Chains A and B, each alone.
Chain A
């Protein structure tokens, strides 16, 4: 048998010990039993696939599929005030800031070159 460890982040399944349930309604108990049966079925399916010696392919994890689909096909973006502000701050404003910075720096250097006062601080290549 392959080593099976419970997933550390999953909630632990509740036991069906009657002593824990004496104060709960029968409907609740029946619902819990159904859920426990479903969990046991899923676990059995996974363990069957895991321990199949002829298995060559991956065990499919539907939660992972859903997660990747949600992450990649993100139609969850909505232009609100906050997202527009962030978009403008990081996407549009830096372009103008950088333009001002570079242009002023280059113009200062050009003026110095035209006046003949520019001294090269580094010798970069022959």
Chain B
């Protein structure tokens, strides 16, 4: 753990002490090295359970894929931000990369935590750099509204979690996940216990987001600059999923009865947010709502609490993280050229940017869960386990898959196909940096087809 954490903390001196000419090169190279070191976590020394050298930070098959995803994303975020931050003065550029690096540190500590209270503190800590990135570097006036929604939705959900964790500490004497996984099932039979159950989960459901409390997500994703959108879609949503998976272990047997409203909200949310996607004019808003749709499937899979559900949830989280981040990068390339997120403005791009059309194609195919990509594998596992839970869910999940294919195709056809309008033929061609960014996003997705065991969690 320290072999990644110390280089990440040393990223701060790197940012502030390199000369301005070498700032972006050095930080990208440094973060890429951290990402490569993090790949060593994938070698599990113990068959099941935790790999750790101390009792405070450990990795296990659930947190390792998410940790590798987090570390992989930092160089990609720095690559993506290079263009739009360049005009600013040097200290502000350094500040921006510092915020990204601090987000990285908090996320590594969150995913690697064994004490749930440390996970909670890091969960809250990630809000601050993200808020600063959205409200300071966003491009429209709505960014202030977006920051407010983001902050207060997440805080309102997570304050009950703090109370619930303190109560848990009082009753069991420990909050270490290493210990709690072996504890006796708790006697949960009163209204107070039900409220405690809800308090444990609501924070993560808001973060995922669940359909009823998802309103912060489209605002935050649309108004954030590209690095903010990338980290939000790829990793911060997965914090919610990861937290839910950790807490579910202790929450039986109440979950059998109390999970129904949330499963129903998640499943209905897939269809509702998918349908909203079909009516969007704003490209980033479409990708944001598609994130809500996919996360609804993940939430449903986790709340079912079966091995297939958990495996499917992890696979879909990793695959969705990479693909959603790739789509936001593509949307940003269109935004940097036209300074508008309107879909019908930047249409017919295949004729002028043919190689980028390939990236759009692969990213959209991955989004609509094309076999053999891991997106499909995760979705299929969750759909199967939901079918096992109750056969009626196949109506909702099947319709959801259909609508997902519909809006992914809509996004692709609207942006790439059709006659190229006259007024955009003068746009700048694509930089090598942007092609590299897309390749670094999509090649891991293709590689994960060959070794999905890395993502299966405990059920490998």
Task: Tell me the A residues contacting B by CB distance below 8 Å.
Answer: 2-3, 50, 55-59, 61, 64, 67-68, 71-72, 90-91, 94-95, 98-99, 101-103, 105-106, 122, 124-125
Q: Return A122 CB to nearest CB of chain B, in Å.
A: 8
Rounded to whole angstroms, the CA-CA distance of A72 and B281 in the bound complex is: 8
Answer whether residue B191 sits at the interface, using C-beta atoms and an 8 A cutoff.
Answer: no
A2, A50, A95, most chain B CB atoms within 10 A:
A95
**B391 engages A105 (CB within 8 Å):** yes
The contact of B384 among A101, A102, A124, by CB within 8 Å, is: A124
Q: Given known contacts A56-B426, A56-B428, A68-B342, is B268 in contact with A98 (CB within 8 Å)?
A: yes
CB pair A106–B390 under 8 Å, yes or no, is: yes
Segment with Cβ contacts to A, from B29-37, B89-97, B258-266: B258-266
Set of chain B residues within 8 Å of A2, measured between Cβ atoms: 422
Contact yes or no, B426 A99, CB < 8 A:
no
Known: A71-B281, A94-B268, A98-B267. A58 touches B339 (CB 8 A): yes
A-B contact sample (4 more), CB < 8 A, given A71-B281, A106-B389 = A58-B424, A95-B265, A99-B260, A105-B392
In the complex, what residues of B have CB within 8 A of residue A102's CB? 260, 263-264, 390, 392-393
* Interface check B86, CB cutoff 8 A: no
Determine how close the nearest CB of chain B comes to the CB of A67; give it in whole angstroms.
Answer: 8
For residue B434, CB closer than 8 A to chain A, the reply is no
Main secondary structure of the interface of A (DSSP, over half): helix
Total of A-B residue pairs, C-beta within 8 Å: 64
Contact B390–A105 (Cβ < 8 Å):
yes
Taken together as a complex, chains A and B put the C-alpha atoms of A102 and B389 apart, in Å, by 9
Which residues in B have some Cβ–Cβ distance to A below 8 Å?
A: 260-261, 263-265, 267-268, 272, 281-282, 285, 308, 338-340, 342, 344-345, 384, 388-393, 396, 422-424, 426-428
Partner among B261, B282, B308, B428 whose Cβ is within 8 Å of the Cβ of A68: B282
CA distance A90 to B393 in the complex (A): 17
Measured between beta carbons, the chain B residues less than 8 angstroms from A91 are: 272
Bound Cα distance from A38 to B267, whole angstroms = 54
Q: Smallest CB-CB separation from B381: which chain A residue?
A: A125
* Residue contacts A-B, CB under 8 angstroms, 17 given: A3-B422, A56-B426, A56-B427, A58-B339, A58-B340, A59-B423, A61-B423, A67-B281, A68-B281, A72-B282, A90-B272, A95-B264, A95-B268, A99-B264, A102-B392, A105-B390, A106-B390
CB-defined contacts of B263 to chain A, threshold 8 Å? 102
Neighbouring B residues of A67 by C-beta, 8 Å: 281
Contacts of B389 in A (CB 8 A): 106
Interface centre among B281, B338, B428 (most CB of A within 10 A): B281
Would you call A58 and B423 a contact (CB within 8 A)?
A: yes
Q: Which residues of B contact A101 (CB under 8 A)?
A: 390, 392
Given the interface pairs A2-B422, A58-B423, A105-B392, the reply to whether A64 lies near B342 with Cβ below 8 Å is yes
Report the Cα distance A99→B339, complex, angstroms.
Answer: 45
Shortest CB-to-CB span from B277 to chain A, Å, is: 14
A33 CA / B285 CA spacing, docked (Å): 44
B310 to chain A, nearest CB (A): 13
